[in-house]
Structure 1
Amino acid sequence: MGLMAGLLSGCSAIDALQPPAVVDIVRTIDNKANITTQDYDQLEDISALVFQQIRDIDPQIHPQLQLSSRTRFIDEIRERTESGFGPDLIITDSETALTLYRSRLIDPIQLSEQDRQDTPQSLLDLVTAKDGALVARPVNQFVQLACFNKERLPTAPRSLEELKQSSSDATFGMAVQLKDLFWSAEAFDASPALKAAMDSPSTVQAHREKVTAWLRWLVDSSYQQNIRFLNNQGNLRDGLIRGELDWITCWSNNLRGLKQKLGDRLGVTALPKGPNQNRTATTRLEVWALGRNSSPLQRRKALLMLDFVTKPWAQKTYSLATNNAMPVSQKAATVVASKIPGGNEALRNYISAERPLSKMRVKARIFRDPVRYDTISDALLDTIYDIQTPEQGAEQILQGLREKR
């Protein structure tokens, strides 16, 4: 203990000789045109905890957090970077980080083999560009769940068949964006068909039938009087709060805001299962990326912060503090899974024996490639809105993925 105190004292003395460094951090939030004080208040507790513990290690770090809507986020970062005042750290999702990298607005991250060992390769794949660069570092995973009003829907459906039967008594909502609907593709075990299309010049009938069954379910759902497809998650949450929807797909990082509005009426459960009974949890990755305008001192401090928040003990501490995110650290995930909504199901994503690594990478290969992502997104919209049949939509998806090989 005396040795540790001496080391800390020595570090403090060294830090005191270093100049202070303001680390400018920008964090995206979901689909909002205007950032409010309430948005900052919701993040203040955990941000203050993280920043204070970082400053306990290095008092010369002065983090400054700014929130930004995803509406014009890429353009805002481009304008700031081109003017020389870009952020030092960007906290966002994996798809946005890849877009920033393709736009040359962030620098890649060098990660040692030792630092990679505690993070599942499938998560690193989600932030690995086509040129092999790691464009950001995974920090958290948000689990996709079902949120419902317990007063209007006492028991949430556990299967897609139950959802269809319940739609005569309650109103269900889903977002039409691929990132919010990919869980349903896995529910119909369509992932192997998508992988085969990316890897093979031809399509077997069984794969075509899997994708067609998925799209047919989406079309049938759109015909149901009380199943609604809305543009985004924000619209779903507003509908649930206003009582216009009784059940929605949601993400674990939105639970706090929904709980504040709905109180004890809020119910949370796993998404319903489909024909694929072994479907694992769908998660969305939160990552930290390095801006391009940092001074050498700011870059060192930013990397120190990044290393700090990915330590297993830090991952465990912040996950339990927020109660809404799974750690990317495998060591921490096994400790906190039972405390996080959807955590036990998400934990299976870490176990390659239960979910083969090749299958885990299907989503990464689609989501990190804008052409593949748009190919499936366009087919989904055309099929859901009855512009084409499920059979035509399936062929559009599979052919588009084959052509992109």
Structure 2
Amino acid sequence: MKRSLTLFAALGLLSACSGSDESRSTLLRVVRTLPANEVVTGEESARDRKLLRDFQTNLRAVIPGLRIQPSLYSATSVQAELQRQTNSGLGPDLVISDAQTIQALFAARLLDPVALTPEQRQAIPAELLTRVSTSNGTITGLPVSQYIQLACYDKRKLKSAPKTLRELAQQSSEGNIFGLTQNFENLYWSVGSYGAGKALISSLRGETPTTQDVNQLVQWLTWLRAASFQQNVLFMNDQATLRQQLIKGNLHWISCWSTQLPQLREALKDNLGVGLLPAGPAGKATPVSRLQVWGLGRNSSHQQRLKSEELMQFIVLPWAQKTWALRYRTSYPVNPAAAQIINREIPGTQDLYLSTDQEDVRIGDEIQAALNQDPKLEQAMQSTLNHVIFGTETPSQAAATLNTKLGPSS
């Protein structure tokens, strides 16, 4: 009898401990990155901590007991830092970054693959999943939101953003100063303006581009070179420099990303204008969205992994996608059902975000996916564009170079 009572007591205590373990809070270490060439400042770190605290507070009703410990790094330094943390067994549970960085971290074996549920696959368009897939179909991270590329300008200098590239050239000749970056991802909107994406994707697919497609590629590269030779169109290395120059008044118009709007609004206040990027001879500008992707760190405990996966399951549901897009107004949902709600709630959004049923955007997603999977291709693309911008290679030569370097034999 005494032994039986002791056994029942022990089992009861074990059950109580188990229940306590289930209800206690779980700490998730979350690393977020800034884009490459962006510097982590005290201001950025404080803004990031506040954002994640608000996020944690709003999640309490859905995922009780969840606590978040944030860290912020530049995309250029995060791999070395995660290598050090992972080797010591203290790596993060979640990494929030862009698709290219997530792909690189996965290739360096710093992230675990993501096993998507049927619900997640239904919530995310296949073309976006391609941008976070390896060549064998492994999913390296979960796309959660999309950042939109826009035109930002100083209303004290410009009454409105130029609607076409011809208007941009005209306004620059009148003394207005325009800023662009030479990075391909930031320039892809102008590829669509000239319909030049077809030649690039043909080369990547191992096909021979048609004469017409090559001509459109040459026209785009010709515009790129002509723009770089204009006195009041300045090409800079990164978005951070563009943003600072707009704030200082040295630039009147820049290409920008929706993630940068809080800082620009804080600095320029009512003087900040936001509009569409200019169209070209082939039609509308077609920027590729920049994905925010969540990756799984390799040092999580069983409970931390369960909570991470629970959070990733929730965050792509229509309600969550709609709620955070409307609350912060810096990103666009990946979930099409939530996107329809956003389009109704924010007039003009369907113009700012060019949906993925448009051919040039689909081509852009495929090109970006190929570059994300193969850094050598990305370097070849960027090197050729630099030669055109600096005038060391003609547009026709560059078109032939791209066809060779992007082809499968390269």
Among 103, 106, 110, the residue aligned to 1:105: 110
Match of 2:62 in 1: 57
Equivalent-residue separation in structure 2 for 1:339 and 1:242 (angstroms)? 33
Match of 1:26 in 2: 31
Match of 2:4 in 1: none
CA-CA distance at 1:35 after TM superposition: 2.9
Match of 1:232 in 2: 238
Would you say the 8 A contact 2:388–2:398 is kept in 1? yes
- Residue-by-residue CA offset, 1:13-47 (whole Å, 9 max, x unaligned): 96774443210000011346653332134335542
Equivalent-residue separation in structure 2 for 1:320 and 1:16 (angstroms)? 35
Equivalent-residue separation in structure 1 for 2:273 and 2:364 (angstroms)? 31
Would you say the 8 A contact 2:146–2:333 is kept in 1? yes
Percent identity of equivalent pairs: 34
The one-letter amino acid of 1:397's match is L
* Match status 1:294 vs 2:300: yes
The 3 A distance-change label for structure 1 pair 356 and 97 is closer
- Residue-by-residue CA offset, 1:48-101 (whole Å, 9 max, x unaligned): 332123233333322111111223111111111122111100000001001111
The one-letter amino acid of 2:270's match is D
TM-score by length of structure 1 reads 0.91
Q: How does 1:84-123 map to 2 (within 5 A)?
A: 84-123=89-128
Larger CA deviation: 388-397 vs 366-375:
366-375
Match of 2:201 in 1: 195
* Match status 1:310 vs 2:316: yes
The 3 A distance-change label for structure 1 pair 65 and 50 is same
Would you say the 8 A contact 1:142–1:285 is kept in 2? yes
The 3 A distance-change label for structure 1 pair 68 and 174 is same
The 3 A distance-change label for structure 1 pair 33 and 163 is closer
Among 147, 150, 153, the residue aligned to 2:155: 150
SS at match of 1:400: helix
Match of 1:172 in 2: 178
Would you say the 8 A contact 2:314–2:320 is kept in 1? yes
Equivalent-residue separation in structure 1 for 2:396 and 2:328 (angstroms)? 43
CA-CA distance at 1:360 after TM superposition: 4.5
Among 257, 272, 276, the residue aligned to 1:251: 257
The 3 A distance-change label for structure 1 pair 341 and 229 is farther
CA-CA distance at 1:163 after TM superposition: 0.5
Among 269, 272, 282, the residue aligned to 2:275: 269
* Match status 1:205 vs 2:204: no
Match of 1:5 in 2: none
* Match status 1:136 vs 2:141: yes
Equivalent-residue separation in structure 1 for 2:277 and 2:363 (angstroms)? 23
SS at match of 2:355: helix
TM-score by length of structure 2 reads 0.89
CA-CA distance at 1:278 after TM superposition: 4.4
The one-letter amino acid of 2:308's match is A
Would you say the 8 A contact 2:147–2:330 is kept in 1? yes
- Residue-by-residue CA offset, 1:115-145 (whole Å, 9 max, x unaligned): 2112111111111111211100011111000
Would you say the 8 A contact 2:288–2:365 is kept in 1? no
Match of 2:228 in 1: 222
Would you say the 8 A contact 1:148–1:156 is kept in 2? yes
SS at match of 1:376: helix
SS at match of 2:407: helix
Match of 1:8 in 2: none
The 3 A distance-change label for structure 1 pair 339 and 171 is farther
Among 153, 161, 169, the residue aligned to 2:166: 161
Equivalent-residue separation in structure 1 for 2:37 and 2:286 (angstroms)? 29
Would you say the 8 A contact 2:258–2:331 is kept in 1? yes
The 3 A distance-change label for structure 1 pair 174 and 46 is same
Structure 1: runs of 5+ lacking an equivalent: 1-12
The one-letter amino acid of 1:167's match is S
Q: How does 1:359-374 map to 2 (within 5 A)?
A: 360-374=365-379
The one-letter amino acid of 1:275's match is P
The 3 A distance-change label for structure 1 pair 35 and 356 is closer
- Residue-by-residue CA offset, 1:273-330 (whole Å, 9 max, x unaligned): 1122144443111011001111111111111111122111011111011011101111
SS at match of 1:117: helix
CA-CA distance at 1:204 after TM superposition: 2.8
Match of 2:14 in 1: none
The one-letter amino acid of 1:174's match is L
Would you say the 8 A contact 2:228–2:235 is kept in 1? yes
The one-letter amino acid of 2:61's match is D
